Structure formats: C-alpha cells, structure tokens
Amino acid sequence: MVWGCVAARRWHGSLAGIVGVVATVVVATSSPAEAARRRHRAPAYSPPYAAMVVDAKTGRTLHAENEDAPRIPASLTKVMTLYLLFEQLERGRMQLDTNLKVSAYAASQAPSKLGLRPGSTIEVEDAIKALVTKSANDVAVAVAENIAGSESEFAQMMTAKARALGMSRTTFHNANGLPSSPPNITTARDLTILGRAIQDRFPRYYSYFSTRVFHYAGRAMPNHNKLLGRVEGVDGIKTGYTRASGFNLITSAKSEGRHVVAVVLGGRSGASRDQIMASLVREQLPRAYAGARTAPVVAEAPSQDRPKPAVVAEAPRSRPSDEAPVETTAAIPRVTPAKAEVAQAAPTAPIAKPLDLSNIRPVVASASGSTATPSNLRWVQGPQPTQRAETAPREVVASIAPVPVRATVESAVDARTDGKNARAGRTVVAKADAKAEPEAKSIARPSGWIIQLGATEDEGKAKDILAEAKAKSRGVLAKAEPFTEKVTKGNATLYRARFSGFEADSAQAACKALKRSGFSCFATRG
C-alpha cells in the first residue's frame, strides 16, 4: 500500500515535469523573438523579377518591366553556348556527328547533367539535344572545352559575342549558368536580342529548340520547357533556374504571320513563371505586326578590345537545383558572323575607336566578286580621331537580301601621308553599265570623311548593303562613292561596306538618315 502511494506520487511528479517541459518548449518556440529569429534564418524566397516582349518583325517593344536591370540568367546561359556551337557547325569546323571529348572537369559538374564519364565522348547533335531538353551542365562544359580549350576561354568568347550582338549589359563566366563568383549577369532586354539573333542566324539549327523528348542511352528525357505544345504558337526556346535567379524563360511564338520573342526572369516557381509567360504571349502576340518584316536582324559588331566584366553587386551563392525547373528589341541590324577571333567584345560603355589599318585597298562594289586586294595585309594600330558617343564607330557585321549590282572594274593607285602615319591605299572603282548606278569617278584612297554601314565575310553581301543603302537613302548618298574595303587579321577576312566623299557635317547627317532607315552606321575620317 505504501509502495503504491509512493509509486503514484512519483508518476504524478514525472508527468508534471514532462508537461512543464513541453509547455516551456511551446512558449519558447512561439515567442515573437524566436519566431523573428527563425524568419531571419530562413528568408522568404523572393527572386528579382523582369520581363520583356519584343515584336520580332518590327523590333517594337510590346511589354517591358525592369528590362535593363541586372539579372542572373542561370541556364539561359546555354543559349549563348549553343549559339557558339551552331557557329562552329555553320563554318564547317564541326559536324553533327563530330565526337566531343568529355574531361574530368566537365563530368564533375553539378546536376542537372547527363552523367557523362571522364574520357568518354558525345556527338555534337546529342550534345545539342541534351542542352535544349535536359539542360545538361556537364555537356555545356564539354562543348566549351572542345571549342575553346577551356571553359574560361570559352566564357570570354561568350562575352565577346554578347557585346558584338549588342548585349551590352551581359557578362559570362561559365558555359552552363551554374552559380559562380562573380555570377553570369544579363538583362531581359539583352536576352530578347539573343533570342532573336539565334533564330535569324541559325534557322536550320534553331529547330532543335522545339525538341520535346531527347532519347539517350536508353533514357527518355522530356524538355523542361512545358509551354511547347501547350501554348499556341510557341516553338521554343529555353528555361533556367537557380535559387539566386528564380525561374527564367525565353520564349519564341509565331501565329498568323506574327512573331514575338519574350523573356521572363525571376519567377517564384516553374508553374507561376509559365503562367506569366503564357499570359504575355496570349496578350502580346495579337498586337504584333502581321505584315512583311521591317526590322533588320541582329548584327555582330567586332571590336578590338577585350571584354570587360560588368560591375554589379555580387549575387548570393546558391545551390544548383536538380528538379525540373532547371531549364529559353528595338530595331536591330542583321546577322552574318565575323570570325570568332575577330569579334572581340567592346567595353561595357561601347564607345569604340575605329580600326586604323595599313595597306588597305578599298574596292568599289562590282559584280565580279573579285578583288585585287592581297591577303597578306598587316594589322597596324595608329592614332584615332575623337568620336562622339552617338557616332562612335562600331564595325557591324551584316547581311542584307541581295540587290543586283552590275559593274565593270577599273583601278587606280595613289598614296596619302597623314601626320605621323603613312598609309598607302589602292582603290578599285566601279564603272556601271546602263542599268546600274551612274559611272563612279576614279579616286585615290578616300579623303575627307567616310561612313561605314557594316562588315561581312562575303564581299558580295557588302556590295549588296551598299546598293540597298543607296536605294533607300532618298538622295542622301546621291554624290557619295560606294566602295568595299578588305580587312585581314590572321585567318579572318572581312569586307567593309563604305561610302566616301563627305565633309564632317554631311557624314554625320547621312548616318542619321541611314539609321532612320534601319541601317547601322558610323562616320569617321578617311
């Protein structure tokens, strides 16, 4: 009996102690101070948002929100990786069945990944599909290393290409978009430029972005872009996600002759991002122009300067995600690539100096496509004239639909000395037949001021640029002399499309008029 009473007292005492402990814990965890501390340890997920929709036919902005604010692209980075890979295919340096070697570094990348082993290989076509659908980080690095030798060198090429395309606020530090310090940085506006450029430049390869399922090594990997087949008109292109960036998407949509490119950055979830994009496409696509395209396509503008990193606050480092959310302009000129070695990036504030070349022989547009310009030219840097920001020369690589130019060729040689630098030049002048332009005068190396419209690897296209510009100039170029100028650096050769015969004021006025007609242009001393 005594024992029972003692046991009962002990049980009740233990129970009271347990209840007290539980009550203390409940009070402690529910106190405002503790709740605040818990919130501080786990901040609310709030990625910065930005969006933009551009009419691809006119270059008109249909919607914009924080479009120029710096953002982390995450796996949207891989669109530029694919741009440079497509460039290798276009130039014949790689084929779709070329085997890419996989290094230990590439194989070690964090998911999402294909799981490639060090020392293995993957064909280019499989690499493309793996990037488009699975957004494979190991494949992106393998592509970078096979093209540039190292990912860091490839990232410099990516930044150079971005600046050449006019993506002035974009800087890349890796090929796959995984978190890095400093991080890859871009803007919604810059990504609309890239989304348009990759379609215009590589229509044959752009179709890979519509791949629904990628079959590889016995696995079926669906595309992370869930708008394909669900939103009318959507034909690609790429998704992206890290915690620091939020859920990102570039989309292209076409319907009833209309075409828009849209970007959403910083979605709070894959589903909400997709919903926002679907709404933008449905609202803005009907507003797009349904007629013939009026905007020239995106142009590459090579510069002699190396890319300079963008100055932005370092974003918080975040862990890459392995879930499905891992992963897709204003009037812009048309794309035809310069050699990758030449298309180096301009500084963030693109006030570039004109290239001053020695022993250049200008060539007036002719139908023959031949040139007397030697290929072993020397690249010489000399003093440059001061340029205002709005007329700062940017060598634009462009290609415009052919316009027939019929001419025969005569040549004349002269030399000109200017201050400290002696520069020799040779001019081949076009003498048009009855159906072509009036006969051009034989001139020595152009003096006074000249204007440049673009530069292309194809001399015939440079001549077409000149012919179309003259046809659309409404008399501004009536007395100007058209000529092409061959520029060689290493294995890269470009043909500049230029007009001579201006005074300083008339050159600036002609450029402004040409820009209103959709041409890129800068004025400089001859």
- Alpha-carbon gap, residue 400 to 405, rounded angstroms: 13
User: Which tops the pLDDT comparison, 469 or 43?
Assistant: 469
Question: Which of 450, 341, 342, 333 lies closest to 398 in space, CA to CA?
Answer: 333
Q: Of 293-307, 380-394, 436-450, 459-473, which range is least confident?
A: 380-394
Dig out the tokens for 462 from the structure: 């440079």
Please report, to the nearest 10 degrees, the dihedral formed by the alpha carbons of residues 107, 95, 198, 315 taken in order: 10
Q: Hey, which of 262-276, 405-419, 436-450 has the most confident mean pLDDT?
A: 262-276
For residue 247, give the 3-state DSSP assignment. strand
Q: Is the pLDDT of residue 319 over 70?
A: no
Burial-class residue 10 by CB neighbours within 10 Å (0-12, 13-18, 19+). exposed
Provide the CATH topology of domain 50-287: Beta-lactamase (3.40.710)
Name the average pLDDT for the chain. 73
Give the residue-averaged pLDDT of 422-438: 38
Task: Check: CB of residue 211 under 8 Å from CB of residue 129.
Answer: yes
75 labelled catalytic: yes
Would you tell me the crossing angle of helices 137-148 and 151-164 to the nearest 10 degrees? Answer: 80
Q: What's the N-to-C CA distance of the chain in angstroms?
A: 118
Q: Report pLDDT for 469.
A: 84
* pLDDT digits 0-9 by tens, 179-225: 999 999 999 999 999 999 999 999 999 999 999 999 999 999 999 99
pLDDT the model gives residue 159: 97
Question: In a 3-state reduction of DSSP, which class is residue 156?
Answer: helix
> Are residues 174 and 138 in contact, defined by beta-carbon separation less than 8 angstroms?
no
Tens digits of per-residue pLDDT, 118-144? 999 999 999 999 999 999 999 999 999
The model's pLDDT over 70-107, given as tens digits with 9 standing for 90+, comes to 999 999 999 999 999 999 999 999 999 999 999 999 99
Q: Is 7 exposed, middle or buried (0-12, 13-18, 19+ CB in 10 A)?
A: exposed
50-287 and 362-525 in the same fold: no
Sheet strands (E) in 256-371: 258-267, 362-363
Candidates 112, 134, 135, 461; catalytic one = 135
Q: Give tens-digit pLDDT for 131-190.
A: 999 999 999 999 999 999 999 999 999 999 999 999 999 999 999 999 999 999 999 999
Out of 267-276, 293-302, 384-393, 456-465, the most confident range is: 267-276
**Distance from C-alpha of 244 to C-alpha of 232, rounded to nearest angstrom:** 31
Q: What is the pLDDT at residue 268?
A: 94
383 burial via Cβ count (<10 Å: 0-12, 13-18, 19+) = exposed
Residue 49 above 90 pLDDT? yes
Specify the fold of 362-525: Alpha-Beta Plaits (3.30.70)
Measured between alpha carbons, how far is residue 410 from residues 196, 276, 373, 493 in Å? 41, 61, 14, 23
pLDDT of residue 37: 52
Nearest to 402 by CA among 450, 453, 460, 355: 460
Task: Report the candidate in 494, 499, 450, 441 with the shortest Cα–Cα distance to residue 470.
Answer: 499
Span 353-390, pLDDT tens digits:
333 333 333 333 333 333 333 333 333 333 333 333 33
Q: Is 399 a catalytic residue?
A: no
The two tokens of residue 268 are: 């709070």
Please say if the pLDDT value at position 492 is more than 80: no
3-state class of 292 per DSSP? coil
DSSP 8-state class, residue 133: I
Type of residue at 23? A
Task: Give the C-alpha separation, 508 to 449, whole Å.
Answer: 9
- For the chain, what percent of residues have pLDDT higher than 70? 63
What are the residue boundaries of the structural domains of the chain, listed by start?
A: 50-287, 362-525
